[in-house]
Chain A
Amino acid sequence: DAGVIQSPRHEVTEMGQEVTLRCKPISGHDYLFWYRQTMMRGLELLIYFNNNVPIDDSGMPEDRFSAKMPNASFSTLKIQPSEPRDSAVYFCASSLQGAGYGYTFGSGTRLTVV
């Protein structure tokens, strides 16, 4: 298995533009997580899905953020409109049965909003 695949690896966009981050989880994993990493807050859980259904989105900072999982092999995190304070590294992770020791993270998307 190629692991969790995220795209793009880097994204630079102007304030106000829409940004879409993509994730392909490991086949067979039933949980998918979106995290954001910043110096100030470390690794923050934004939202997670179980069997393609959003379970907890309490970490989503604002209505500008939305996430979807249309099928078991694909998820998106969208920011519209983007702001400079959204600049961070966004990680997707997947696991079997939500077990923290079984998380596999993608390599992340480094987002810069100018």
Chain B
Amino acid sequence: DQQVKQNSPSLSVQEGRISILNCDYTNSMFDYFLWYKKYPAEGPTFLISISSIKDKNEDGRFTVFLNKSAKHLSLHIVPSQPGDSAVYFCAASANSGGSYIPTFGRGTSLIVHP
């Protein structure tokens, strides 16, 4: 049973437009959320995160929004660039004995067309 769901396997966007990647979770104990980015033949790399005490976190072109009541988060990329083409993994974690071990979704493949 997937606790972290990314229901769109792929997304295609024109360069310069906004990319919106969505993620839903089921476990109400999750209180820390992350996005990882993965290029082909490489391991995932950390992109941005948000704590449950916030509803928005921004880092340059990347913004993550959290809606706790809906158990939903989204990653906005504005403006999108061809170099953003990658697989994006949503992850969620809860404090477990002082450690936060994230559960990952299946990923969304983003393609940004020039």
Contacts and interface: CB of A to CB of B under 8 A. Distances in A.
A101 B34 contact: yes
A48 B93 CA distance: 15
A42 B34 contact: no
Interface in A60-105: 91, 93, 97-105
Contacts of B49: 100-101
Q: Report the contact-size class of chain A (Cβ under 8 Å from the partner).
A: 20 to 34
A43 B32 CA distance: 18
Contacts of A50: 99
B101 A108 contact: no
Interface string A34-61: 0100011111110010100000100000
Contacts of A31: 99
B27 to A, nearest CB: 14
Contacts of A35: 104
B100 A43 contact: no
Given A102-B46, A105-B43, A42 B104 contact: yes
